[in-house]
Amino acid sequence: MTAVAHRDFSTAGSAPRRSAYFDAEHEMLRDQVRRFVEAEVKPNGLAWEEQGFTPRETLRRMGELGFLGIRYPAEYGGSELDTLATVVLAEELGRSTFSGFAITVLVHTDMASVHVAHAGSEAQKSRHMADIVAGRKICAVAVTEPGAGSDVKAIRTRARRDGDSYVLDGSKIYITNGVLGDLYCVAAKTGEPGDRPSRSVSMFLVEKGTPGLRVGRALDKHGWRSSDTAELFFEDCRIPAENLLGEEGQGFYAIMRNFQNERVVIGAMAIGEAQAAIEITLDWLTSRQAFGAPLWDKGAIRAKLAMLQAKVEAGRQLVYHAAWLDTQGADATSEVSMVKAYCGELVNEVMYACLQFHGGLGFMRESTIERMTRDARVQSIGGGATEVMLEEVAKRMGR
């Protein structure tokens, strides 16, 4: 397989453009990611599901191919592309049918390492970014706690300043890449009682092996089984003061800013999943015989799948438009919230119907659609529950 050259996706040939939003660089990237998925993910994904994680060798291979630094500076080995390129990556990883693998990669590229890239000091970036882009260091973001999910202001993990150090105490849960990660971007309270909640959260970079950081059990999940997910515990975890990411008290805003990117990425991943499910189901319906003819000949089935395809296309264009708005520097909070709510619900609607059309086979663990249906369930929860996203849209209606 030919490696993707860093920063040079410029020879996509004469293939017609998929969309007005994309150029030749985007299309070449799409082709390269799709070929990687076919060659290296699909043949091995079931083994990764069994072992409960995506191998580090695969992530390093993705780093070699230029997939882990799409939007990062060339000085660190990145390609300096845009939000639409991230959408291309996420959509194609979603199409792999192994969403545990996909989320392992996307947490590293677009939900965790961004805190280092955007808020890290020059020393922090010089130390870590090249390894992050190369896949030699894998990142996790640790915000969620047993009592705080979408409500970031409610976190209870604390970081107190002690001379030239910070000391962290608390716990995190549902942390993707928590077991095998190397760098944790951790949200902790630094404010005093009575401070505004939005000004009392800071972000810190904690390295694997730091005394006082304990990685708890790997969590047993309903889906996304080829991603590792863990509890983290901080008990008198002392880190250098220079491990603060950005300014003290600005962590909440950093998290909120990146939520916009994270939600577009999750939406694109969901669209890739839904499209793959429709294609798998269409193949099944055209080959499965019932009552003397292929199931695809049944009008009710054809109409249902056609409407789902229309909805997926509508969701895809919403994702693309939100990503394009971000490339223009526009405030896309409403559109991004729509993406997360719509695509998270849609992928579950698609999976339900596709599993139904597979009949008894769809209920068997041996079927691809059964695994995909389990993986999709979290799409309306993780990264901002549908109900929270719709509140964000509602608050901006009529303004």
Domains and CATH numbers, the chain: 24-137 (1.10.540.10), 140-248 (2.40.110.10), 253-396 (1.20.140.10)
CB atoms within 10 A of CB 16: 5
CA separation for the pair 335, 277 (Å, rounded) = 25
pLDDT of the residue at 377? 97
The Cα-based distances of 361 to 43, 54, 281, 370 in angstroms read 21, 27, 12, 8
The Cα-based distances of 259 to 189, 193, 222, 244, 252 in angstroms read 19, 26, 24, 20, 11
pLDDT of the residue at 64? 97
- Torsion, CA 92, CA 98, CA 101, CA 104, rounded to 10: 80
Chain mean pLDDT for the chain:
93
Using the predicted structure, report yes or no on whether residue 12 has a pLDDT greater than 90: no
pLDDT (mean) for 366-390: 96
pLDDT (mean) for 104-113: 97
pLDDT of the residue at 398? 73
Q: In the numeric block, which tokens belong to residue 310?
A: 């229309």
Using the predicted structure, report yes or no on whether residue 141 has a pLDDT greater than 90: yes
Q: How confident is the model at residue 149 (pLDDT cuts 50, 70, 90)?
A: confident
Give catalytic residues, as residue numbers: 262
pLDDT of the residue at 18? 57
Please tell me what DSSP assigns to residue 38.
I
The verdict on pTM exceeding 0.85 is: yes
DSSP states of 171-240 = EEEEEETTTT-SEEEEEEE-SPTTS-GGGSEEEEEEETT-TTEEEEEEP--SS-TTS-EEEEEEEEEEEE
Among 269, 325, 242, CA closest to 107: 269
CA separation for the pair 355, 370 (Å, rounded) = 7
Strands 244-245, 201-207: pairing kind: antiparallel
Using the predicted structure, report yes or no on whether residue 4 has a pLDDT greater than 60: no
